[in-house]
Chains A and B, each alone.
Chain A
């Protein structure tokens, strides 16, 4: 029930904000903050409640489940369930949600009601994606998060927002529809095999199909997730969307929406199509590596701060796909870490870009420089997150990238070596950010240093990233059962009867 409650709180908060926005300018943000906080606390209590000592209390992977018929005519049910992986991402979702509300606090002055409505509904959609255990429901949530995001970019974005919002929407929608086709295909393959038509994940996971079919169906899923992640060559929506979105929008995009792609691969592509996934592992990893390098080079060449950060996302997500297709526990744990830490580090960079834009009214790196003099606090934090972005040990990203590379090394030596060269390039672009914004002669802009609210946001992020860097074990332990199971699935002749293992 807590799972349903999570979605309900977010959605209801959104509606309340929408209605309240008619009368009061500041009411909606209060509501939004309250509902995000409540959601966060709920998830946190769930996590801590299940997390005993060093291991998640796991007599089963599935910690909690909610199941109710929805459209029985098609075998569709409202089926939510959470394992360690989902739980982590849910906590992350709520955390990023709070930050998103906080960093919109002053930035958004118009139509606040509608704004926070959209914000909360995106969160609800993302949360739904992380919980849905019915493929139809999954697709449903997958799309639910799009429209509010589209509004968020399209209404509150900067100059080129309309183009960006179209691009974002059409890319994700197009790929989403392909996934939908694949879901339907899977539905019928399973139905024809067993005579039992259902969208239930735990049933479909055991679908047997000829390899050729599996490849095609998997491609449908893969493309959708690859666009979200994004894997080159499907990344081009990202810089535009990130660049034009309001700060909270970029934060959520980078922090959460991209994660849904990786989550989808972990949750659906590998378990449902282990054979096919193994078959495309090498090309997928090659694309991942290409993404790492390409994203890094592109990031370096950008003059727009937010676009730059967006391309770093492309680069970082390249690690994710490399790690996923390395198919071993080390790499997969690295992927989970990368999902969490990237949300924090890149999110922080976007928040910072937003703060700078609020002060200087530009995202052009050419017009920045020497900001350290006026904003030493931001300068220091900027360096922290630039370092996080380049994977400095001691910060969370390092753990992620190290584990991914370490895991991948076992699978593909040369892929790893090339991917590792991304570490050098990431230093190149990350330091360029620092150089262009904070270093150099001051240009005489008037920019106040961080306010108390902003310090609070950044402090939360800094503490998180350091915590993740020095003591990542809670994350790893929480994700472990899910990851272990995933790895077992990939071993041939070891198809797990997973539906028997969740809590009844």
Chain B
């Protein structure tokens, strides 16, 4: 499998995805969407790692990716559990309603 993809292109793609993820997190008010957007960002980071690993021909990039995967899973599980609780308590997933603490 030969390709002559420029490293910059992949990183740029990852960066773009990362930025899209950021945009998603800020734009959306629904917590589920925010969580999704965070997943996008993590994925972008994973992509960057894979690209780097591939550039150096090392497995480390993929290893890191796997750990990211584990972390994403862990986080999503707790995140979703929290979402359930929030929904039960607030009957809404609007993040802007969670402003009780401020000042």
Q: Do chains A and B touch in the complex (CB under 8 A)?
A: no
Residues of A at under 8 Å CB distance from B?
none
